[in-house]
Structure 1
């Protein structure tokens, strides 16, 4: 299920300033504008990308990823941020990001890869390269360097930044902030560091604290290994009811033996809302059904709760960035 921390959404809205109706944008994500900035509260990735695209339609978003990424601090990542600080060097810190990234995002994977000039730190975010995803990737690259500069005892300047998508209208702000060349249309999203930077000691590197924090993170990671039983049961109930149209929360809650209020509260404890869970279930079901050649597009629309195929097409394009027909052609059923 594709979720990202709501912290990024709140920072994006704040950075956009008076040019957008920030409270309205946050409410669209199911967030209380006056609520706490809790990184454990998650929002669906596709709706986060929608938010970024709405902001870009109202203000110049060229430097938005740089400003937001540069504002990130380790303390905002909880135990993971402390573990980054306590790592011996940058290589150790980034290795922990690779290992524990799932604790704050379900849509990005990370990799450290040897390179003739040093080490490549790559981010892998699947999906159509829509504007929201591109802005999110730029923010992630900037945030990584911002955190590295916070924890490292020495200067952190990548040898090179590589971005898979095309360059924005002006790239100077990116190169000025990174302090190195930024290559767009590079076929990957990555930071290239020299060996000396990766091996430079961190300011607060502490082996004893590291062992304690890593043990804590391993426990949290184990808890994510399986979807919570309530969420899995709710997804199944939602999927079974979709052919009758979008389900009502009270009906699903009743089928699970819960009141609507209790069901809402327990979903919130897992960082999600009923609306977000229903949307994710419809998306996942649609992707699965499109992989089955026995179902026509009209049948897939019906089975995912849409009364009209045109409405299904619009929703699917919002989820994946392409139409159901185009997706099926690109991923032929087996």
Structure 2
């Protein structure tokens, strides 16, 4: 199954903070298999395990178990991602929070965010979708950053009534109390922040309706891409693409890779309006067009890379897809 991902802007900000404190970011990126140049791309996504590895190495190298809290209380609007700018350009805090909940997967797919009222409190909950997605420093940072930014961009008057974390009580409890300035509990079912609901009506002083509208349009496109990545058909295509040259693309093996039976796979694909064979054909066609446009491989090599037993089979398939032969298509590039 696909790994959950984190926004590249989140990772970029963390790398900047760590570099400022003397850590070798190039070595760290190599270990985490990160392409630092790609962090300049606002659409770039980083696998959650790689992000969590950065936190583990930060704790070890800086010898700071509370590094997540310390990163979280660092606010630099120049390092804030597009989601942060959207939230603080809403009219009220409540509108900003509701939009954050809807867009939170763009920040971290491994954490599901919920917002609700409970008596006099407004409560934000952070649920890790699976235990292995939870990293203490990462969650420390997420909650500390939420509070720090609210105090910076909304009002210094905002105070919390309680905070909860899912991990056991660590040795640096005093740091939680210093930052959150309220009772903090541990070993909770989920991480959470609670504050008086009266703060929800606070108007955001730096709001810009035009900027908010433009940024919202931008992230809607990103959200659509992320939703597509979660579909079964998209995951099937990713697996098939990796296995084409081996010819190892039987439905049973793909289903096994996805931890489901072939029958379940077929049923889920039917719900998405596509068949397994149609996806295989689509992957082959897309890759064939890409290979022919780049001109790096011979036609026989392309046939092999696409899992065809011989060139003639590839040629027949390509003509069925495009109405012309591979050689004719390449000559036009």
- Normalising by structure 1, report the TM-score: 0.64
Q: Distance in 2 between matches of 1:13 and 1:212?
A: 28
Structure of greater Rg: 2
Q: Distance in 1 between matches of 2:144 and 2:104?
A: 16
Look up the match of 1:190: 192
Question: Which one of 282, 287, 296 corresponds to residue 256 of structure 1?
Answer: 287
Question: Which one of 98, 102, 126 corresponds to residue 99 of structure 1?
Answer: 102
Q: For the aligned residues, what is the CA RMSD?
A: 3.5
Residues 153 and 201, structure 1, Cα contact 8 Å, conserved in 2: no
How many Å apart are 1:231 and its aligned residue?
Answer: 7.7
Residues 142 and 242 (structure 1), Cα distance of their counterparts in 2 relative to 1, 3 Å cut: farther
How many Å apart are 1:128 and its aligned residue?
Answer: 2.2
Residues 9 and 80, structure 2, Cα contact 8 Å, conserved in 1: no
How many Å apart are 1:204 and its aligned residue?
Answer: 2.2
SS at structure 2 position matched to 1:256: helix
Question: Which one of 114, 117, 138 corresponds to residue 114 of structure 1?
Answer: 117
Residues 112 and 129, structure 2, Cα contact 8 Å, conserved in 1: no
Look up the match of 1:221: 223
SS at structure 1 position matched to 2:43: coil
- Residue 204 (1) aligns with residue 206 (2): yes
Residues 109 and 35 (structure 1), Cα distance of their counterparts in 2 relative to 1, 3 Å cut: closer
- Normalising by structure 2, report the TM-score: 0.64
SS at structure 2 position matched to 1:144: helix
1:137-148 equivalence runs, <5 A? 137-148=139-150
Q: Distance in 1 between matches of 2:169 and 2:132?
A: 13
Residues 71 and 259 (structure 1), Cα distance of their counterparts in 2 relative to 1, 3 Å cut: farther
SS at structure 2 position matched to 1:114: strand
Q: Distance in 1 between matches of 2:212 and 2:8?
A: 27
How many Å apart are 1:97 and its aligned residue?
Answer: 0.9
Can you give the 5+ residue segments of structure 2 that lack an aligned partner in the other structure? 250-282, 295-333
How many Å apart are 1:102 and its aligned residue?
Answer: 2.5
Deviations 1:14-43 (A, max 9, x none): 545667543211122333557765553221
How many Å apart are 1:213 and its aligned residue?
Answer: 3.9
SS at structure 1 position matched to 2:71: helix
SS at structure 2 position matched to 1:96: helix
Deviations 1:256-290 (A, max 9, x none): 2345997xxxxxxxxxxxxxxxxxxxxxxxxxxxx
Look up the match of 1:170: 172
1:1-334 equivalence runs, <5 A? 1=2, 2-16=4-18, 20-32=23-35, 37-73=40-76, 76-128=79-131, 133-207=135-209, 209-227=211-229, 233-238=237-242, 241=246, 256-257=287-288, 258-259=290-291
Q: Distance in 2 between matches of 1:55 and 1:242?
A: 42
How many residues align structurally? Answer: 254
Q: Distance in 2 between matches of 1:106 and 1:260?
A: 35
Residues 215 and 19 (structure 1), Cα distance of their counterparts in 2 relative to 1, 3 Å cut: closer
